[in-house]
Amino acid sequence: MAVKTDSFTAPTKRRLATFWQPYTRVAMLSWLTGALVAAILEQLVGRPLAFMLGLGKVPVLFGLVIILKAPLLIPGVIVYVLLIYILPIGLIARLTTKLGNKLAAELLRYPMLVSTVVHLVLLYATLQIWGNINDYRNLVLRLTLISVLITLSLNVINGYMGEFSCSHPGFLALGAYGASAVTVSLFVNDNLFGPAVFTGNWGWIIFPFSLILGGIIAAIGSLVVAIPSFRTRGDYLAIISLAFTFIIKSFIENLEFVGGPRGLSSQPDWANLPTVFIWVVVGVWVINNFVRSTMGKALNAVRDDEIAADAMTVNTRRTKMVAFMFSAFWAGVGGGLFAHVLRYVNPSTFGIQKLAEVLAMVYFGGLNSVYGSIVGAVGFNLLSEALRPLEIFKWIIIPVLLILIMIFRPTGLVAFKEFDVHQIIAPKE
């Protein structure tokens, strides 16, 4: 918990612990069911309840946006969040503790995939229903999911391999443009590529291909950074990767057939929530397996001592190259999804600002940890949407928070923690 417990007096602490104690036995299955019920509840009574509390409409991001705009509504927001989210989730978690654990245990008797899929379906249903309230929430949700993928892919290099790579905006740009070029040229009547080649409903098959193609282009591009990394590392690699970002931006600005500095727009609207969700889940799953494999251990070995790793028969060159290409591939996929969510990209989207953003998410969440990347991306995105009403001061508050986090937890919020799917879905008693 983020709360600093030592500031509480001892009895409060004890009471809190006794209060929380039963919840430690709640299985993930029950939590997800609770969340699903909360989302359904919001769908059913959210609007009238919000109206009754004087909020006008359903608070879009747990009321965070409203709080800053109209402080008088804070009590209403708190009541809303309590009634719609906290109470139902808590209640259902408690009520179904036994049942949930039993079911979770039952599910684990089949191959683990079954249980995982059940959990994911629950999660997806929750997000879908929650995001249904309005399109803004849906957009934020999709962008947040994509951020998770992008952050995680950067964590492979910066966290697991311990380099300080600044090349991610470049990879994102390659993926975004690679995927967009395919979809826009084939499916859209557009002034750059002319009329659409296909008119039929081929999106479901072409879109994954174009994303993968974008990923592959990014992976090939990453060789520009990966090959120098054989001979150098750390600081020198940092500026090689930074130069790479400048080069890619300038390169795309000079590519007239994808619109140059004007950018590429009107991508087909294929990156809806289910598509994004599936890609992000697959991405997280693959990356998690990658970093937990021997390859992941090799990455850690390279980070901790390259020469020793070499002596221990780790093929450091192969390791670095694979890590860069792998990371770039997923960044490229993320970039492709990003382009299709916004349905517009231009080269200046992928500059220094983007770099600061992705770096902040990785280090805010925590190095060397899948959990960390999820926490970092979700936290950062929610925060930056919630603080929108502050206008200029948003960019003072966010950096201050990040500095505090860095000072008190130098490796990020949840660093060096393994993301063990079995442990998550297992029954808790």
Partner 1 sequence: MDSFFQNIVNALQWGSFYALIALGYSMVYGILMLFNFAHGDIFMVGAYLGFFVAAGLLSLATMGILAIPNWLVLLLTVLIAMALNSIVGVLVERIGYRPLRDAPRASAAITGLMIGIILETGNLAILGAQRLSFPSLIETQTYTIGGVAVTNKKIMIVAVALFLMLVLHLFITRTKWGMAMRAMAYDFAIIPLMGVPINRIAALTFGLGSALAAAAGVLYGVAYPILDPYMGILIGWKAFVAAILGGRGSILGAAFAGFLLGFIEIFTATIFPSTFRDLIAYSIILVILTFRPHGLFGEAYSARLRL
Partner 2 sequence: MRKSHLLLLIALLLIATVAITACGSSGPQTIKIGINAPLTGDIPKVGEGTKFAAEMWLDDINKAGGLEVGGKKYQVELVIEDNESKADSATKANTKLITQDEVLAIVGPQSSKQAVPAGEVANNYKTPMVSPWSTNPNTTLNRPWVFRAAFLDPFQGVVDAKFISDEFGFTKAAVLYDVASDYPKGLADVFKKSWEDLHGAGSVVAFESFTTKDTDFSAQLTKIINSGAEVLFTPQYYNEVALIVQQAHELGWTGPIIGSDSWGSAETVKLCGSDCYGSFFSTHYAAAGATGATKEFIDRYNAKYGYVPDDVGALTWDSLNLLKQAIQDCGSITGDLGKDRQCVRDALANIKNFPGITGDMTFDEQGDPTKCAVIVKISDAGEFEFYKSACP
416 is a site residue for partner 1 (CB under 8 A)? no
CA 331/CA 175 separation, integer angstroms? 7
H helical segments located in 234-369: 235-253, 273-292, 294-304, 306-311, 316-342, 352-365
> Left, alpha or beta for 62 (phi > 0: left; psi -120 to 50: alpha)?
left
Can you say whether the dihedral through the CA atoms of 22, 25, 29, 32 is positive or negative? positive
Kindly state the smallest distance separating residue 172's Cβ from partner 2, in Å.
12
Residue from 147, 265, 368, 373 touching partner 2 (CB under 8 A): that is: 265
**Radius of gyration over every alpha carbon of the chain, rounded to an integer in angstroms:** 23
Applying CB under 8 A, which part among 60-68, 136-144, 381-389, 409-417 lies near partner 1? 409-417
CA 388/CA 395 separation, integer angstroms? 9
The per-residue b/e assignment along 93-102, b for 16 or more CB within 10 angstroms, e otherwise, is: beebbeebbe
Residue 128 interacts, among partner 1, partner 2, none and using kind-specific CB cut-offs from 5 to 8 Å, with none
Nearer to partner 1 among residue 209 and residue 393 (C-beta): 393
CA 338/CA 341 separation, integer angstroms? 5
Residue 348 interacts, among partner 2, partner 1, none and using kind-specific CB cut-offs from 5 to 8 Å, with partner 2
Kindly state the smallest distance separating residue 418's Cβ from partner 1, in Å.
19
Residues 263-322 that bind partner 1 (CB under 8 A): none
Residue from 231, 294, 311, 313 touching partner 1 (CB under 8 A): that is: 231
Can you say whether the dihedral through the CA atoms of 262, 267, 272, 277 is positive or negative? negative
8 is a site residue for partner 2 (CB under 8 A)? no
Residue from 13, 15, 57, 422 touching partner 2 (CB under 8 A): that is: 57
Residue from 101, 167, 349, 368 touching partner 2 (CB under 8 A): that is: 349
Nearer to partner 2 among residue 19 and residue 408 (C-beta): 19
Nearer to partner 1 among residue 142 and residue 303 (C-beta): 303
Q: Write the DSSP string, 42-88.
A: HHHHHHHHHHHTT-SS--TTTTHHHHHH-GGGHHHHHHHHIIIIIHH
Q: Which residues bind partner 2 (CB under 8 A)?
A: 41, 44-45, 47-49, 51-52, 56-57, 60, 65, 83, 87-88, 91, 94-95, 134-137, 139-140, 143, 191, 249-250, 253-254, 260-263, 265-266, 269, 342-349, 353, 388, 391-392, 395
